[in-house]
Structure 1
Amino acid sequence: MQPEFSRPLPLGTVGPAGRHVEITATPAECEALSRRFHLLGIAALAAELRLTPEPDGAVRAEGRFTATVTQACIVTLEPVEQQMAESLAFRLLPPEQEEADGPEDLDEIACPDGVADLGEAVAEQLALALDPYPRAPGAELPPEAQDGQTGAFAALATLRRPQ
Protein backbone atom coordinates (compact mmCIF):
# COMPACT_ATOMS: atom_id res chain seq x y z
CA MET A 1 0.00 0.00 0.00
CA GLN A 2 1.38 3.42 -0.95
CA PRO A 3 0.99 5.91 1.93
CA GLU A 4 -1.14 8.98 1.23
CA PHE A 5 1.54 11.31 2.65
CA SER A 6 4.88 9.87 1.61
CA ARG A 7 8.21 11.59 2.18
CA PRO A 8 10.91 8.93 1.78
CA LEU A 9 14.33 9.57 3.29
CA PRO A 10 17.29 7.21 2.89
CA LEU A 11 18.81 6.87 6.37
CA GLY A 12 22.30 7.17 4.88
CA THR A 13 21.61 10.78 3.82
CA VAL A 14 21.24 12.05 7.38
CA GLY A 15 24.99 12.49 7.87
CA PRO A 16 27.05 12.63 11.08
CA ALA A 17 25.96 16.21 11.92
CA GLY A 18 22.28 15.37 11.63
CA ARG A 19 19.68 17.10 9.54
CA HIS A 20 16.68 19.42 9.86
CA VAL A 21 13.63 18.46 7.78
CA GLU A 22 10.34 20.27 7.20
CA ILE A 23 7.46 18.48 5.49
CA THR A 24 4.00 19.73 4.53
CA ALA A 25 1.07 17.73 3.19
CA THR A 26 -0.55 18.91 -0.04
CA PRO A 27 -4.33 19.47 -0.16
CA ALA A 28 -4.75 16.15 -2.02
CA GLU A 29 -2.68 14.33 0.63
CA CYS A 30 -4.74 15.95 3.41
CA GLU A 31 -7.95 14.82 1.72
CA ALA A 32 -6.66 11.25 1.36
CA LEU A 33 -5.55 11.16 5.01
CA SER A 34 -8.93 12.46 6.18
CA ARG A 35 -10.60 9.55 4.35
CA ARG A 36 -8.15 7.07 5.87
CA PHE A 37 -8.71 8.36 9.41
CA HIS A 38 -12.49 8.84 8.93
CA LEU A 39 -12.34 12.59 9.55
CA LEU A 40 -14.53 15.28 8.04
CA GLY A 41 -11.38 17.01 6.84
CA ILE A 42 -7.75 17.94 7.31
CA ALA A 43 -7.07 21.53 6.28
CA ALA A 44 -3.33 21.44 7.04
CA LEU A 45 -0.60 19.09 8.22
CA ALA A 46 3.07 20.00 8.61
CA ALA A 47 6.04 18.84 10.67
CA GLU A 48 9.53 20.00 11.59
CA LEU A 49 11.97 17.26 12.54
CA ARG A 50 15.54 17.21 13.77
CA LEU A 51 17.19 13.97 12.66
CA THR A 52 20.22 12.80 14.65
CA PRO A 53 22.28 9.67 13.92
CA GLU A 54 22.81 7.31 16.85
CA PRO A 55 25.84 5.05 17.47
CA ASP A 56 23.88 1.87 16.69
CA GLY A 57 23.00 3.10 13.18
CA ALA A 58 19.49 4.23 14.05
CA VAL A 59 18.30 7.79 13.48
CA ARG A 60 16.49 9.68 16.21
CA ALA A 61 13.71 12.02 15.03
CA GLU A 62 12.43 14.75 17.34
CA GLY A 63 10.23 17.73 16.61
CA ARG A 64 6.65 18.91 16.31
CA PHE A 65 3.73 18.60 13.99
CA THR A 66 0.84 20.97 13.52
CA ALA A 67 -2.51 20.18 11.97
CA THR A 68 -5.97 21.57 11.49
CA VAL A 69 -8.53 18.77 11.53
CA THR A 70 -12.32 18.59 11.50
CA GLN A 71 -14.06 15.72 13.25
CA ALA A 72 -17.73 14.93 13.84
CA CYS A 73 -19.06 15.71 17.33
CA ILE A 74 -19.90 12.45 19.12
CA VAL A 75 -23.17 13.92 20.40
CA THR A 76 -24.56 16.09 17.58
CA LEU A 77 -22.43 15.03 14.57
CA GLU A 78 -21.71 18.74 13.97
CA PRO A 79 -18.24 19.54 12.59
CA VAL A 80 -15.66 20.23 15.30
CA GLU A 81 -12.48 21.94 14.11
CA GLN A 82 -9.32 21.45 16.14
CA GLN A 83 -5.92 23.10 15.95
CA MET A 84 -3.27 20.59 16.93
CA ALA A 85 0.38 21.18 17.87
CA GLU A 86 2.10 18.10 19.25
CA SER A 87 5.67 17.10 20.05
CA LEU A 88 6.91 13.86 18.59
CA ALA A 89 9.94 11.63 19.00
CA PHE A 90 10.74 8.26 17.48
CA ARG A 91 13.66 6.19 16.19
CA LEU A 92 14.18 5.02 12.63
CA LEU A 93 15.88 1.64 12.56
CA PRO A 94 18.31 0.50 9.86
CA PRO A 95 17.86 -2.85 8.11
CA GLU A 96 17.94 -5.94 10.33
CA GLN A 97 17.99 -4.01 13.61
CA GLU A 98 15.48 -5.39 16.09
CA GLU A 99 12.91 -3.13 17.69
CA ALA A 100 13.13 -2.59 21.46
CA ASP A 101 9.88 -3.11 23.28
CA GLY A 102 10.50 -1.64 26.70
CA PRO A 103 7.90 0.68 28.24
CA GLU A 104 10.38 3.57 28.40
CA ASP A 105 11.69 3.14 24.85
CA LEU A 106 10.78 5.58 22.09
CA ASP A 107 8.52 4.34 19.31
CA GLU A 108 10.65 2.64 16.70
CA ILE A 109 9.99 2.36 13.00
CA ALA A 110 11.71 -0.40 11.08
CA CYS A 111 13.22 0.61 7.74
CA PRO A 112 14.02 -2.78 6.17
CA ASP A 113 15.29 -1.22 2.93
CA GLY A 114 17.16 1.59 4.71
CA VAL A 115 14.57 4.19 3.66
CA ALA A 116 12.30 5.87 6.21
CA ASP A 117 8.96 7.39 5.26
CA LEU A 118 8.77 10.56 7.34
CA GLY A 119 5.34 11.49 5.97
CA GLU A 120 3.82 8.18 7.05
CA ALA A 121 5.49 8.47 10.47
CA VAL A 122 3.95 11.93 10.97
CA ALA A 123 0.54 10.69 9.73
CA GLU A 124 0.64 7.90 12.32
CA GLN A 125 1.51 10.40 15.06
CA LEU A 126 -1.45 12.53 13.95
CA ALA A 127 -3.78 9.52 14.19
CA LEU A 128 -2.58 8.82 17.73
CA ALA A 129 -3.09 12.44 18.81
CA LEU A 130 -6.68 12.79 17.53
CA ASP A 131 -9.38 13.44 20.12
CA PRO A 132 -11.29 10.15 20.39
CA TYR A 133 -14.45 11.93 21.65
CA PRO A 134 -14.72 15.34 19.99
CA ARG A 135 -17.61 17.50 21.19
CA ALA A 136 -19.10 20.64 19.77
CA PRO A 137 -19.28 23.55 22.23
CA GLY A 138 -22.28 23.04 24.51
CA ALA A 139 -23.00 19.50 23.31
CA GLU A 140 -24.22 17.31 26.14
CA LEU A 141 -25.07 13.64 26.27
CA PRO A 142 -28.74 12.87 27.05
CA PRO A 143 -29.34 12.25 30.78
CA GLU A 144 -30.11 8.56 30.24
CA ALA A 145 -26.67 8.09 28.67
CA GLN A 146 -24.96 9.82 31.59
CA ASP A 147 -26.49 8.06 34.59
CA GLY A 148 -26.10 4.46 33.39
CA GLN A 149 -29.45 3.57 34.99
CA THR A 150 -31.29 3.07 31.71
CA GLY A 151 -30.52 1.59 28.33
CA ALA A 152 -28.96 -1.69 27.27
CA PHE A 153 -26.23 -1.76 29.92
CA ALA A 154 -28.72 -1.16 32.73
CA ALA A 155 -30.79 -4.09 31.42
CA LEU A 156 -27.68 -6.27 31.41
CA ALA A 157 -26.82 -5.20 34.97
CA THR A 158 -30.11 -6.67 36.22
CA LEU A 159 -28.99 -10.08 34.94
CA ARG A 160 -25.82 -10.06 37.05
CA ARG A 161 -25.82 -12.62 39.85
CA PRO A 162 -25.33 -11.37 43.42
CA GLN A 163 -21.97 -12.33 44.84
Structure 2
Amino acid sequence: MTPEWSRPERLDAIGERDKPVHIEADEGERIALARRFELKAVDRLAADLVVRRDAAGVLVTGRVRGDVVQACGVTDEPVPAVVDEEVALRFVEALDGEEEVELSADAMDVVVIEGGAIDLGEAAAETMALALDPFPRSPNAARALREAGVISEDEVQPMNAFAGLKDKLAGR
Protein backbone atom coordinates (compact mmCIF):
# COMPACT_ATOMS: atom_id res chain seq x y z
CA MET A 1 0.00 0.00 0.00
CA THR A 2 1.39 3.39 -0.97
CA PRO A 3 1.51 5.93 1.88
CA GLU A 4 -0.58 9.10 1.62
CA TRP A 5 2.53 11.28 1.26
CA SER A 6 5.00 9.18 -0.68
CA ARG A 7 8.26 10.77 -1.83
CA PRO A 8 10.51 7.87 -2.83
CA GLU A 9 14.22 8.56 -3.24
CA ARG A 10 15.85 5.85 -5.35
CA LEU A 11 18.89 4.24 -3.78
CA ASP A 12 20.88 4.47 -7.01
CA ALA A 13 20.41 8.27 -6.92
CA ILE A 14 21.94 8.63 -3.46
CA GLY A 15 25.68 9.12 -3.24
CA GLU A 16 28.22 9.82 -0.51
CA ARG A 17 27.79 13.58 -0.82
CA ASP A 18 25.01 15.45 0.97
CA LYS A 19 21.92 15.74 -1.21
CA PRO A 20 19.43 18.39 -0.01
CA VAL A 21 15.79 17.46 -0.55
CA HIS A 22 12.74 19.65 0.12
CA ILE A 23 9.32 17.99 0.17
CA GLU A 24 5.91 19.47 0.83
CA ALA A 25 2.53 17.78 1.15
CA ASP A 26 -0.20 19.02 -1.18
CA GLU A 27 -3.81 19.54 -0.10
CA GLY A 28 -4.99 16.02 -0.93
CA GLU A 29 -2.04 14.46 0.87
CA ARG A 30 -2.66 16.64 3.94
CA ILE A 31 -6.33 15.62 4.04
CA ALA A 32 -5.37 11.94 3.79
CA LEU A 33 -2.72 12.32 6.53
CA ALA A 34 -5.24 14.05 8.81
CA ARG A 35 -7.61 11.11 8.34
CA ARG A 36 -4.86 8.54 8.97
CA PHE A 37 -3.54 10.19 12.14
CA GLU A 38 -7.04 11.18 13.37
CA LEU A 39 -6.38 14.92 13.20
CA LYS A 40 -8.93 17.60 12.48
CA ALA A 41 -6.58 19.09 9.88
CA VAL A 42 -3.04 19.20 8.56
CA ASP A 43 -2.77 22.79 7.35
CA ARG A 44 0.89 22.66 6.34
CA LEU A 45 3.53 19.93 6.27
CA ALA A 46 7.01 20.13 4.78
CA ALA A 47 10.48 18.72 5.34
CA ASP A 48 13.96 19.96 4.56
CA LEU A 49 16.19 16.92 4.54
CA VAL A 50 19.74 15.95 3.68
CA VAL A 51 20.27 12.46 2.28
CA ARG A 52 23.60 10.65 1.87
CA ARG A 53 24.95 7.14 1.70
CA ASP A 54 27.56 5.85 4.14
CA ALA A 55 29.00 2.43 5.01
CA ALA A 56 26.06 1.58 7.29
CA GLY A 57 23.27 2.52 4.86
CA VAL A 58 21.52 5.78 4.02
CA LEU A 59 21.56 8.65 6.48
CA VAL A 60 18.64 11.15 6.49
CA THR A 61 18.81 14.27 8.65
CA GLY A 62 16.89 17.55 8.68
CA ARG A 63 13.63 19.04 9.98
CA VAL A 64 9.92 18.43 9.59
CA ARG A 65 7.72 21.49 10.02
CA GLY A 66 3.99 21.86 9.94
CA ASP A 67 0.76 23.19 11.37
CA VAL A 68 -1.90 20.73 12.44
CA VAL A 69 -5.16 20.78 14.36
CA GLN A 70 -5.77 18.03 16.90
CA ALA A 71 -9.00 17.19 18.69
CA CYS A 72 -9.12 17.82 22.44
CA GLY A 73 -9.35 14.45 24.17
CA VAL A 74 -12.07 15.79 26.48
CA THR A 75 -14.20 18.25 24.52
CA ASP A 76 -13.31 17.37 20.90
CA GLU A 77 -12.62 21.08 20.35
CA PRO A 78 -9.84 22.00 17.89
CA VAL A 79 -6.37 22.32 19.41
CA PRO A 80 -3.82 23.91 17.04
CA ALA A 81 -0.29 22.50 17.20
CA VAL A 82 2.99 23.49 15.57
CA VAL A 83 5.39 20.76 14.48
CA ASP A 84 9.09 21.61 14.31
CA GLU A 85 10.95 18.36 14.75
CA GLU A 86 14.48 17.22 13.95
CA VAL A 87 14.88 14.12 11.82
CA ALA A 88 17.77 11.67 12.18
CA LEU A 89 17.15 8.32 10.50
CA ARG A 90 19.35 5.56 9.17
CA PHE A 91 17.91 3.37 6.43
CA VAL A 92 19.52 -0.07 6.27
CA GLU A 93 19.19 -3.26 4.23
CA ALA A 94 17.07 -5.99 5.86
CA LEU A 95 18.72 -7.34 9.00
CA ASP A 96 19.40 -11.03 9.45
CA GLY A 97 17.27 -12.43 12.29
CA GLU A 98 20.40 -13.56 14.15
CA GLU A 99 22.26 -10.31 13.65
CA GLU A 100 22.56 -8.13 16.77
CA VAL A 101 22.38 -4.37 16.57
CA GLU A 102 24.00 -2.37 19.36
CA LEU A 103 22.60 1.11 19.88
CA SER A 104 24.52 3.86 21.61
CA ALA A 105 22.88 6.67 23.58
CA ASP A 106 23.04 8.94 20.53
CA ALA A 107 21.79 6.27 18.12
CA MET A 108 19.22 7.28 15.57
CA ASP A 109 16.11 5.42 14.54
CA VAL A 110 16.75 2.63 12.05
CA VAL A 111 14.37 1.90 9.18
CA VAL A 112 14.65 -1.15 6.94
CA ILE A 113 14.86 -0.37 3.22
CA GLU A 114 12.06 -1.94 1.21
CA GLY A 115 12.49 -2.15 -2.54
CA GLY A 116 15.00 0.05 -4.31
CA ALA A 117 14.08 3.32 -2.59
CA ILE A 118 13.55 5.07 0.73
CA ASP A 119 10.32 6.97 1.27
CA LEU A 120 11.10 10.44 2.61
CA GLY A 121 7.43 11.47 2.70
CA GLU A 122 6.46 8.54 4.90
CA ALA A 123 9.46 9.17 7.16
CA ALA A 124 8.42 12.83 7.53
CA ALA A 125 4.76 11.90 8.14
CA GLU A 126 5.72 9.48 10.91
CA THR A 127 8.05 12.07 12.42
CA MET A 128 5.15 14.56 12.51
CA ALA A 129 2.84 12.02 14.15
CA LEU A 130 5.39 11.13 16.84
CA ALA A 131 5.93 14.83 17.64
CA LEU A 132 2.27 15.45 18.49
CA ASP A 133 0.88 15.64 22.03
CA PRO A 134 -0.85 12.31 22.65
CA PHE A 135 -3.35 13.97 25.03
CA PRO A 136 -4.17 17.41 23.61
CA ARG A 137 -6.36 19.58 25.83
CA SER A 138 -8.36 22.66 24.90
CA PRO A 139 -8.71 25.60 27.29
CA ASN A 140 -12.20 24.30 28.20
CA ALA A 141 -11.03 20.77 29.09
CA ALA A 142 -10.52 21.39 32.83
CA ARG A 143 -13.99 22.92 33.20
CA ALA A 144 -15.62 20.08 31.27
CA LEU A 145 -13.87 17.51 33.46
CA ARG A 146 -14.98 19.31 36.66
CA GLU A 147 -18.57 19.45 35.42
CA ALA A 148 -18.40 15.71 34.75
CA GLY A 149 -17.23 15.10 38.33
CA VAL A 150 -13.61 14.34 37.52
CA ILE A 151 -11.24 15.81 40.10
CA SER A 152 -7.61 16.83 39.59
CA GLU A 153 -4.69 15.06 41.27
CA ASP A 154 -4.38 18.00 43.67
CA GLU A 155 -7.97 17.48 44.86
CA VAL A 156 -7.61 13.76 45.61
CA GLN A 157 -8.30 12.91 49.26
CA PRO A 158 -7.25 9.61 50.88
CA MET A 159 -10.19 7.23 51.06
CA ASN A 160 -9.41 4.70 53.77
CA ALA A 161 -10.02 4.09 57.45
CA PHE A 162 -7.20 6.43 58.47
CA ALA A 163 -8.25 9.40 56.32
CA GLY A 164 -8.55 12.43 58.59
CA LEU A 165 -7.36 10.50 61.66
CA LYS A 166 -4.60 12.99 62.41
CA ASP A 167 -7.12 15.88 62.48
CA LYS A 168 -9.54 13.87 64.68
CA LEU A 169 -6.83 13.00 67.19
CA ALA A 170 -5.78 16.62 67.38
CA GLY A 171 -9.40 17.58 68.09
CA ARG A 172 -9.82 19.67 64.97
Give RMSD over aligned pairs: 2.4
Structure 1 gap ranges (5+): 159-163
Q: TM-score, normalised by structure 1?
A: 0.81
Q: Which residue of 1 aligns with 2:15?
A: 15
Q: How many residues align?
A: 151
Distance 1:20 1:97, change over 3 A: farther
Q: TM-score, normalised by structure 2?
A: 0.77
Q: Which residue of 2 aligns with 1:91?
A: 90
Q: Which residue of 1 aligns with 2:169?
A: none
Q: Secondary structure at the match of 2:141?
A: coil
Within 2, Cα distance between the matches of 1:27 and 1:115? 24
Within 1, Cα distance between the matches of 2:104 and 2:29? 33
* Structure 1 ranges of 4+ moved more than 6 A: none
- Kindly indicate whether the alpha-carbon contact (under 8 Å) linking 1:100 and 1:108 is maintained by their aligned counterparts in 2: no
Bigger Rg over Cα:
2
Q: Which residue of 2 aligns with 1:116?
A: 118
Q: Which moved more, 1:103-112 or 1:37-46?
A: 103-112
Map 1:1-163 to 2 at 5 A: 1-56=1-56, 58-93=57-92, 95-97=93-95, 100=101, 102=103, 104=105, 105-137=107-139, 139-140=141-142, 141-142=145-146, 144-147=150-153
Counterpart of 1:60 in structure 2: which amino acid?
L
Within 1, Cα distance between the matches of 2:104 and 2:31? 34
Q: Secondary structure at the match of 1:144?
A: coil
Structure 2 gap ranges (5+): 161-172
Within 2, Cα distance between the matches of 1:137 and 1:70? 14
Distance 1:128 1:27, change over 3 A: same
Within 2, Cα distance between the matches of 1:112 and 1:31? 26
